[in-house]
Amino acid sequence: MSCLFCKIIAREIPANIIAEDEHCLAFRDINPQAPTHVLVIPKEHVASLNQMTDPALGGRVLAFARDVAAAEGLAERGYRVVLNTNAEAGQTVFHLHAHVLGGRAQGWPPG
Active site residues: 97
Closest distance to Zn ion from the beta carbon of 6 (Å): 3
Closer to ligand 5GP by CB, 59 or 90: give it: 90
Question: Which positions from 24 to 53 touch ligand 5GP by CB under 6 A, shown as an x/- string?
Answer: ---x-xxx-------x--------------
Residue 38 contacts residue 28 (beta carbons within 8 Å): yes
C-alpha pair distances (Å), 21 with each of 50, 64, 90: 24, 9, 28
Closest alpha carbon to 101 in 73, 77, 79 = 79
Question: Under the rule (CB under 6 A), what is the footprint of ligand 5GP?
Answer: 4, 15, 27, 29-31, 39, 84, 90-93
